[in-house]
Structure 1
Amino acid sequence: MRGRLVALLLALAPLGAVAQDDLALGQVQSPVLVIDAGRLLAESRAGQAIDADLRARADALAAENRQLEAELTSEERALTERRPTMEVEAFRAEAEAFDARVQAIRSEQDAKQRELEEAVDRSREDFLTAVRPVLAQLMIESGAAVILERREVFLSVGLVDVTDEAIAAIDAEMGEGAAAPDRSGAETAPSGDATPSEATDPATPPAATDGPEAVPGD
């Protein structure tokens, strides 16, 4: 996904059919345009809505991890305090059950973290897929045949960077909504390394502990 053309090599029907008289006054005319796809995500209203949703999900997972950690710590402390009054075998059984529960919770929270990270990747792809028609129209209006990701361009004239125009067009066309494409058919084209803000680093899931100190056999 990273280091590609952000799925924006939009090969369209012959552009020569678009009459120059129909182009807006002052519109950039170039066969190649440049955009910063990261800015499309960060500054468009649709991209910001995606970012806010991912941040909310990351915050919720972090809060859940903290709550689980506190509960497990309290449970472990209580079991340790009860140890002097328990039979050796009874304590060992409870300690092993506690360890198994910690491991299960850790696996579950790790799975949730992976799911969130996958959601970030999907959101990038979905966003760039959703804005393709908007960018295609911008290409037609500019008489361009290709749009390149800014990071892939070694040198260019500033006028061919149409990121601001693209953001304005996306806002006008989509507002805060970027409908997810139907994934039942062909796979979405690679989407470059445009990313929402890094919002998916929730607190570490509850670490698997050694549980209360094991009791040696009699």
Structure 2
Amino acid sequence: MQRIFRNLTGALFGALLCSVSPVFAQQDGGLSNLGVVQSLILTIAPEALYAQSEFGKRIAREIEAESAEIAAENRRIEAELTAEERELTELRDTLPTEEFRARADAFDEKVQNLRREQDEKARAVGQRNEDARRALLTAVQPVLLQLMVEAGAVAVLDRRAVLMSVDSVDITEQAILRANSEFGEGEAILPLRP
């Protein structure tokens, strides 16, 4: 009796699988057979997309070079100002008080101006990084839209804003590969620095 029940159960289960499989294949248009994740919601890590893309790596190299130039310039300026301050200190005893005060004030103003200029250069480098990040996220929207269409998704969320998800809905790596293929180092997104 148990054997008959098991055989009957097995036959019913097999028939059920055969009838359900075509329904699922019709619902996803057969995409599940292509290895494309099917999910209404997808996630992406924008920081990783930027940092790991060829474009982001190029910008990082450029920013590193610009930062090194600013640091070298800061060291040169510091050495010049130190020498100038030393010379001014030595003249303190030989110059009339008013002349010394005028030179000291001019030196202080020069130091403040140079500090502002160098700070502005550093801010500009940081702003370039933010501008590049935004430019990539704008440029990559058609790529993300295509990934959404392929997955049958209705939304792509920033992974940081998602409390919990399975790794299979994260499209960061696919987006990086497609962005690299589409844009390379991104000269069309942001021109190379001279």
Q: TM-score, normalised by structure 2?
A: 0.76
Structure 2: tracts of 5 or more residues without a match:
1-27
Note the C-alpha offset of 1:32. 0.9
Q: Is it true that 1:81 corresponds to 2:81 in the alignment?
A: no
Structure 1 residue identity aligned to 2:34: L
Note the C-alpha offset of 1:124. 1.4
Structure 1 residue identity aligned to 2:146: Q
Q: Which residue of 1 aligns with 2:126?
A: 117
Deviations along 1:90-136, whole A, 9 cap, x unmatched? Answer: 22221121111112212222222332232222121111111111111
Deviations along 1:133-155, whole A, 9 cap, x unmatched? Answer: 11111111111111111111111
Structure 1: tracts of 5 or more residues without a match:
1-18, 182-218
Question: Which residue of the other structure, out of 42, 45, 51, is the alignment partner of 2:54?
Answer: 45
Question: Larger deviation: 103-112 or 71-80?
Answer: 103-112
From the CA coordinates, give the structure whose radius of gyration is larger: 2
Q: Which residue of 1 aligns with 2:167?
A: 158
Please list every run of at least 4 consecutive aligned residues from structure 1 whose deviation after the TM superposition is greater than 6 angstroms: none
- 2:55–2:180 contact (8 Å) kept in structure 1: yes
Deviations along 1:37-81, whole A, 9 cap, x unmatched? Answer: 111111111111122222222222222222211111111011112
Note the C-alpha offset of 1:84. 2.6
Question: Which residue of the other structure, out of 108, 111, 115, is the alignment partner of 2:117?
Answer: 108
Note the C-alpha offset of 1:21. 4.5
Paired with 1:110 and 1:125, the residues of 2 have a C-alpha distance of 23
Q: Which residue of 2 aligns with 1:167?
A: 176
Paired with 1:32 and 1:127, the residues of 2 have a C-alpha distance of 22
Greater helix share, 1 or 2?
Answer: 2
Paired with 1:176 and 1:136, the residues of 2 have a C-alpha distance of 21
Note the C-alpha offset of 1:178. 5.5
Matches within 5 A, 1:21-40: 21=30, 25-40=34-49
**What is the percentage of aligned positions where both structures have the same residue?**
47
1 or 2 for the larger relative contact order (CA 8 Å, sep ≥6)? 1
Structure 2 residue identity aligned to 1:155: M
Aligned pairs, number: 163
Q: Which residue of 2 aligns with 1:136?
A: 145
Matches within 5 A, 1:90-109: 90-109=99-118
Paired with 1:168 and 1:71, the residues of 2 have a C-alpha distance of 48
Note the C-alpha offset of 1:86. 2.3
Question: Which residue of the other structure, out of 59, 62, 79, is the alignment partner of 2:68?
Answer: 59
